[in-house]
Structure 1
Amino acid sequence: MIDPVSKNLTGQFTKEYKAFLSALKNKILSSRMKAALAVNQEIIKLYWYIGQQLIEKQKTSCWGDKLIETLSRDLRNLFPETSGFSQQSLKRMRMFAEYYPNIEFGSQAVTQLPWGHIQLLMLKNNFPTVEEIEAELNDDKANLKN
């Protein structure tokens, strides 16, 4: 088999190969980014759902504060390889669902932020509006292009 990088009869093969490699590299990077965004959105959906379920169960049951303590322990036992089910994390999921009770996944920018970023905003007690999140995402996209 001929090595396309070392073959350089006219220089054309090398230029063509470099362009081919560059196009594949760009596609791989783009696909990785899309996959990461899709995973992030699923995690945000899951955490919001858990938060909603906690709100409902705490309203309709007599489990009280023991619910979060017990659920945290049981989820960590069921999914030891997964972080994010501490009592503090479950409380943040509930807080997230309380602040965004009618979130529309896929259409609102808040679902595009990483969970860590959302938690930081909640810790600062600074729940951004959808417009503020969209502006921040646009700034991030502009910085990536530069």
Structure 2
Amino acid sequence: MHSELQSPHPDYRQWLADIKGRYRQVQLKAAMVVNTAVLEFYWELRADIVARQSITSWGQGFLTQLSADLMNEFPGVSGFSKRNAEQMRRWVTFWSQLPPIAKQPASQWMDILWWSHLAKTPNACSPCFGRCNDTKRTR
């Protein structure tokens, strides 16, 4: 039989602290991989929504139906509400009208941000967006 250490040796405590730290790093890496994959999915879904609405005649209820179907299929996922679908559509429409921007190193931080943080950008930028379009037209 093994007996528990009465007073753990300092080397053991240091080794245990190292194991805990390494495990937490692995958890963080895994979470970042998952978050990146989810963000990529949402980015593709945004583009799909805009593309489908431009080539089909599914009507005004399209986003409501899509939202209901996805929430029914994935009940624990909060990102499929009608409001989110509208925000996704607005996001793609906003960014597709701007000139392309070269990828910056800081854009890597986007991989750890959630969609809800990004969804507010087109609304917040709407006043300046008109000015951006005016500036683009005068060049």
TM-score by length of 2: 0.70
Deviation at 1:52, TM superposition (A): 0.7
What is the RMSD of the two structures over their aligned residues, measured on CA atoms?
Answer: 2.5
Q: Which has the higher contact order (CA 8 A, sep 6+)?
A: 2
- 1:40 alignment counterpart: 35
**C-alpha deviation, 1:88, in angstroms:** 0.4
| Partner of residue 141, structure 1 | none
The answer to whether residue 80 in structure 2 is matched with residue 88 in structure 1 is no
Amino-acid identity (%): 27
What amino acid does structure 2 have at the position aligned with 1:124?
A
* CA displacement at 1:115 relative to structure 2: 2.1
How much has 1:123 moved relative to structure 2? Answer: 4.7
TM-score normalised by length of structure 1: 0.67
Aligned to 1:55: 50
Deviation at 1:55, TM superposition (A): 0.7
Change (3 A) 1:120 1:15: farther
Determine the structure 1 residue equivalent to 2:117.
117
Q: Give structure 2 stretches of 5+ with no counterpart.
A: 127-139
Which of 4, 9, 16 in structure 2 is aligned with 1:21?
16
- Work out the CA distance in 2 between the residues paired with 1:42 and 1:109: 14
